[in-house]
């Protein structure tokens, strides 16, 4: 009998060992066939407190070594403004950097992939050779949601070309005062236009399935990116347009002006929402539980994750970081799920861990945050495809995308004045002329044309920052070969008089800026712009093209200019400006912002009782294209 039992026992032990081995290799959360909820639960059941808190941390790429990712279980990495792996880095260099960091995450016990985020405010603006689209202030002029969807699609491809799956865009602020340094990131002073422009979200992420429940995020595959609606809430309504300041408005006003675009964004499946530095009636948004958790998460049923802005929780206190324990408690308790630290991560991890262990922050709040972060990572397919490849590198700055950006430029320009009367228009300009003058600081400066958030955080001057076409070169490309084009950035009156120019194009405006550096109380065009306008337009027929992130003081120059064009910040494709000036296409753009007479009128928005603009909201002359 024993001799028959031994083989049976051996066989039984073998089965048990195989079962154990099978159980050890099969992890439910790694099985894409399992329901999303089951995968999230299975993974969270396996996670330690240390691993969970690591998921809530986002750090800057400069400190994101593979060892840091592995040892601290870091959940996310970002490139801050201008933060690139190398100067003029190729798409391949970006992919290699992202993958190197990702390998650190994949070497952890549970192999949870990190998510890499980057600002893509008007195209993939940190990447050399990327297509730079007009800033939002110009795109709002188009009132063309379908165009915004296509721009989102193109941006997603260019970002994915560099191995990155997450963008901090779109900004859906409703800028109510152009003195704000971020006003060019806003589509309009009118929330209805901002709502229309949220169509960029399905462009970035893919169209949400028809049967999706409200608030459930959606990201449609390896050619799409997770988007981020920002900055929640009221960032465009601060007093005197001061960046990161206080928005004074009642609850109904907050909901009716600043909130509507968030309804649209959540309904379109936006993956993440970024909290604003600003305050609402004195309460910092990063500490506002009623709005972040109560309104966004509970009432709107938003199921993606909420991310802080750069050192956002530090700035809950004034001065920043003066009571870090309180800031961590207030920010995480308010409902922030992922904290953009972005450098001193050990301090944040230590403090949050301490507070959880001492029951200051409940474990349920940590679980809510981690569940939301993991939901996005699973939905994006990061667990199945954590590493990027080179298959999309040719999408960066592709001809198709540049053609789309040129179309966006054409649709975003606004013709404010065109000759002395309707029957004597100056535009379209003739392509055949003996000699024409192009003048102004912004005529041959790609950096000025693109504005802030281009290659560097604040933007820069010059033509070496990336690939593109300046307005001067666009003019040269467009006119008849026999037409002589003379460029002089700031000619004196005698130069203009002595050269017998047929006409002149003067391109002036603001220098690049971003965020607080752009706050302005005077809103004047930069010197020597006014001098150039006077010297040129006082002595020859001229069109003035204004390159700016918002309406600026133009009342003194309207009379002297024969034609006036608002070009906003058109980006790399300056050829779109020449397309309209010379009549290959007609002007169609209508102001999405009120153009004031003097800064003393501000804030002044359409519908205000003191409304007395230089050019009203919705204004824009039209032209018909030439028939050649």
What is the largest distance, in Å, between two alpha-carbon atoms of the chain? 120
451: left (phi over 0), alpha (psi -120 to 50) or beta: left
Q: Are strands 484-488 and 435-439 parallel, antiparallel or unpaired?
A: parallel
CB 479 within 8 A of CB 516: no
Q: Number of C-alpha atoms within 13 angstroms, CB side, residue 42?
A: 16
DSSP reduced 3-state for 446: helix
**Cα(91)–Cα(306) distance, integer angstroms:** 29
Which residue in the list 153, 190, 244, 309 is annotated as catalytic? Answer: 309
**Cα(521)–Cα(586) distance, integer angstroms:** 34
Q: Per this entry, what is the length of the chain?
A: 628
Which residue in the list 337, 515, 519, 579 is annotated as catalytic? Answer: 515
Output the CA angle 88-517-62, nearest 5 degrees.
40
Omega before 233 within 30 of 0, i.e. cis: yes
Strands (E), 92-165: 115-118
Q: Which of 156, 119, 143 is nearest to 197 (CA)?
A: 143
Report phi then psi at 566, rounded to 5: -90, 110
CB 49 within 8 A of CB 356: yes
**Cα(290)–Cα(443) distance, integer angstroms:** 48
Q: Which of 398, 425, 313, 386 is nearest to 58 (CA)?
A: 313
Report phi then psi at 601, rounded to 5: -80, -15
SS3 content of the chain, % helix, strand, coil (to 5): 40, 15, 45
42 part of the active site? no
Q: Are strands 115-118 and 166-167 parallel, antiparallel or unpaired?
A: parallel
Integer angstrom CA distances of residue 341 from 58, 312, 338? 6, 8, 9
309 part of the active site? yes
Question: What's the start-to-end Cα distance of the chain, in Å?
Answer: 104
CB 461 within 8 A of CB 447: yes
Q: In sequence order, what are the residues at sequence separation of 6 or more whose Cβ sits closer than 8 angstroms to the Cβ of residue 366?
A: 49, 52, 53, 56, 356
Output the CA angle 565-567-568, nearest 5 degrees.
135
Q: Are strands 414-418 and 563-566 parallel, antiparallel or unpaired?
A: antiparallel
3-state secondary structure 550-576: CCCCCHHHHCCCCEEEECCCCCCECHH
CB 534 within 8 A of CB 428: no
DSSP reduced 3-state for 496: helix
Catalytic residues: 309, 515
């Amino acid at each position: 009998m024993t001799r028959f039992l031994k083989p049976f026992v051996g066989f039984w032990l073998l089965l048990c060992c195989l079962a154990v081995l099978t159980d050890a290799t099969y992890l439910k959360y790694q099985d894409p066939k399992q329901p999303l909820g089951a995968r999230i639960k299975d993974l969270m059941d396996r996670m330690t407190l240390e691993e969970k808190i690591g998921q809530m941390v986002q750090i800057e790429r400069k400190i994101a070594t593979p060892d840091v990712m592995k040892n601290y279980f870091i959940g996310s990495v970002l490139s801050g403004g201008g933060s690139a792996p190398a100067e003029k880095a190729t798409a391949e260099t970006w992919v290699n950097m992202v993958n190197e960091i990702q390998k650190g995450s994949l070497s952890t016990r549970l192999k949870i992939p990190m998510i890499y985020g980057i600002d893509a405010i008007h195209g993939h603006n940190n990447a050399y050779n990327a297509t730079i689209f007009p800033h939002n202030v110009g795109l709002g002029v188009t009132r063309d949601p379908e165009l915004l969807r296509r721009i989102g699609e193109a941006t997603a491809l260019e970002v994915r070309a560099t191995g990155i799956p997450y963008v901090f865009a779109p900004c859906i602020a409703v800028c109510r005062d152009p003195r704000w340094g971020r006003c060019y990131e806003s589509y309009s002073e009118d929330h209805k236009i901002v709502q229309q422009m949220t169509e960029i979200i399905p462009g970035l992420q893919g169209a949400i399935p028809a049967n999706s429940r409200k608030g459930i995020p959606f990201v449609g595959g390896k050619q799409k990116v997770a988007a981020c609606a920002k900055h929640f809430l009221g960032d465009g309504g601060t007093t005197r347009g001061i960046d990161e300041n206080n928005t004074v408005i009642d609850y109904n006003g907050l909901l009716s002006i600043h909130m509507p675009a968030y309804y649209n964004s959540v309904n379109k499946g936006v993956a993440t929402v970024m909290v604003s530095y600003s305050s609402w009636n004195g309460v910092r948004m990063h500490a506002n539980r009623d709005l972040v958790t109560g309104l966004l998460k509970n009432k709107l049923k938003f199921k993606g994750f909420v991310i802080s802005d750069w050192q956002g929780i530090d700035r809950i206190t004034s001065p920043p970081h003066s009571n870090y324990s309180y800031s961590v408690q207030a920010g995480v308790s308010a409902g922030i799920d992922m904290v953009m630290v972005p450098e001193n991560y050990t301090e944040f991890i230590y403090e949050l861990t301490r507070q959880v262990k001492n029951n200051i922050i409940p474990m349920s709040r940590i679980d809510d945050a981690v569940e939301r972060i993991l939901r996005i990572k699973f939905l994006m397919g990061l667990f199945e495809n954590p590493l990027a490849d080179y298959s999309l590198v040719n999408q960066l700055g592709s001809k198709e995308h540049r053609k789309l950006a040129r179309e966006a430029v054409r649709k975003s320009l606004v013709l404010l004045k065109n000759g002395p009367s309707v029957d004597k228009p100056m535009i379209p300009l003739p392509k055949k002329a003996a000699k024409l003058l192009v003048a102004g600081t912004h005529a041959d400066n790609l950096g000025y044309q693109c504005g802030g958030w281009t290659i560097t955080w604040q933007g820069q001057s010059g033509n070496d920052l990336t690939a593109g076409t300046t307005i001067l070169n666009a003019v040269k490309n467009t006119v008849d070969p026999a037409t002589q084009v003379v460029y002089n950035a700031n000619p004196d009156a005698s130069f203009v008089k002595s050269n017998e120019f047929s006409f002149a194009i003067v391109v002036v405006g603001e220098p690049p800026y971003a965020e607080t550096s752009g706050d302005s109380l005077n809103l004047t065009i930069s010197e020597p712009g006014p001098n150039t306008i006077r010297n040129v337009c006082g002595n020859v027929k001229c069109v003035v093209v204004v390159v700016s992130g918002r309406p600026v003081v133009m009342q003194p120059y309207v009379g002297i200019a024969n034609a006036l064009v608002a070009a906003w910040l058109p980006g790399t494709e300056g050829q779109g400006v020449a397309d309209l000036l010379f009549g290959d296409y007609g002007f169609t753009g209508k102001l999405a912002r009120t153009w004031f007479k003097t800064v003393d009128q501000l804030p002044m928005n359409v519908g205000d009782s003191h409304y007395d603009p230089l050019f009203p909201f919705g204004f824009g002359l039209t032209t018909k294209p030439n028939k050649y």
